[in-house]
Structure 1
Amino acid sequence: MKIDLTDTTSSKINKALVQGRHALGTPAVGMVLTMVIVTDEENAYDSIKAAEEASHEHPSRTLVVIKRHSRTLRDRTSSRLDAEVRVGADAGTGETVVLRLYGEVSDHADSVVLPLLLPDAPVVVWWPVDAPDNPARDPLGALAQRRITDLYAVEAPLTTLETRVASYAPGDTDLAWTRLTPWRSMLAAALDQARAEVISAAVESEAENPSAELLARWLEARLRVPVERIVTAGPVVTAVRLGTEKGEVVIDRPEGPLATLSLPGQPSRTMALKVRATSELIAEELRRLDADEMYAIALRGKDSHEDAPTGAKENRTHV
Structure 2
Amino acid sequence: MRIDLTDTTASKINKALVQGRRAIGTPAVGMVLTMVIVTDEENAYDSLKAAEEASHEHPSRTLVVIKRHARTPRDRTRSHLDAEVRLGADAGTGETVVLRLYGEVSEHADSVVLPLLLPDAPVVVWWPVNAPEVPAKDPLGALAQRRITDSYAVEQPLQALEQRARSYAPGDTDLAWTRLTPWRSILAAALDQARVEVTSAAVESEADNPSAELLARWLEARLHVTADRVVTAGPVVTGVRLGTANGEIVIDRPEGPLATLHLPGQPPRTLALKVRSLAELIAEELRRLDADEMYAVALRGEGVKEAV
TM-score, structure 2 as length reference: 0.99
Cross-structure match for 2:171: 171
Deviation track 1:154-178 (CA, whole Å, cap 9, x = no partner) reads 1111111111111000000000000
Deviation track 1:15-39 (CA, whole Å, cap 9, x = no partner) reads 0000000000123440000000000
User: Is there any run of 5+ residues in structure 1 with no aligned partner, and where?
Assistant: none
2:130, 2:235 → 1: CA distance? Answer: 23
Structure 2 residue 277 is matched with structure 1 residue 272: no
How many residues in Structure 1 have an aligned counterpart in Structure 2?
Answer: 308
Residue pairs, 1:70-89, within 5 angstroms: 70-89=70-89
Structure 2 residue 190 is matched with structure 1 residue 200: no
1:129, 1:269 → 2: CA distance? Answer: 36
Cross-structure match for 1:13: 13
Structure 2 residue 298 is matched with structure 1 residue 298: yes
Cross-structure match for 2:92: 92
1:81, 1:258 → 2: CA distance? Answer: 47
2:43, 2:28 → 1: CA distance? Answer: 31
3-state SS in 2 of match to 1:4: strand
Deviation track 1:185-221 (CA, whole Å, cap 9, x = no partner) reads 0000011111111010000000000000000000000
Letter in 2 for 1:234: G
Deviation track 1:277-303 (CA, whole Å, cap 9, x = no partner) reads 0000000000000001010000011xx
1:234, 1:159 → 2: CA distance? Answer: 20
Give the RMSD, CA atoms, in angstroms: 0.9
4+ residue segments displaced more than 3 Å: none
Cross-structure match for 1:225: 225
Letter in 2 for 1:161: L
3-state SS in 2 of match to 1:222: helix
3-state SS in 2 of match to 1:287: coil
2:52, 2:8 → 1: CA distance? Answer: 24
Cross-structure match for 1:110: 110
1:159, 1:46 → 2: CA distance? Answer: 24
Structure 2 residue 259 is matched with structure 1 residue 245: no
Letter in 1 for 2:90: D
Cα drift, residue 313 of structure 1: 6.3
3-state SS in 2 of match to 1:58: coil
- Determine if contact 1:29/1:94 at 8 Å carries over to the other structure: no
User: Is there any run of 5+ residues in structure 2 with no aligned partner, and where?
Assistant: none
3-state SS in 2 of match to 1:204: strand
Cα–Cα, structure 1 residues 230 and 279, in superposed 2: closer, same or farther, change >3 Å?
same
Letter in 2 for 1:57: E
1:86, 1:107 → 2: CA distance? Answer: 24
- Determine if contact 1:250/1:263 at 8 Å carries over to the other structure: yes
Letter in 2 for 1:96: T
- Determine if contact 1:36/1:126 at 8 Å carries over to the other structure: yes
Deviates more, 1:6-15 or 1:23-32: 23-32
Cα drift, residue 128 of structure 1: 0.4
Cross-structure match for 1:124: 124
TM-score, structure 1 as length reference: 0.95
Give % identity: 84
Letter in 1 for 2:256: G
Letter in 1 for 2:158: L
Letter in 1 for 2:241: R
Letter in 2 for 1:269: R
Cα drift, residue 234 of structure 1: 1.9
Letter in 1 for 2:101: L
1:96, 1:28 → 2: CA distance? Answer: 12
3-state SS in 1 of match to 2:61: strand
2:249, 2:55 → 1: CA distance? Answer: 38
Cross-structure match for 1:145: 145
Cα–Cα, structure 1 residues 185 and 26, in superposed 2: closer, same or farther, change >3 Å?
same
Letter in 2 for 1:12: K
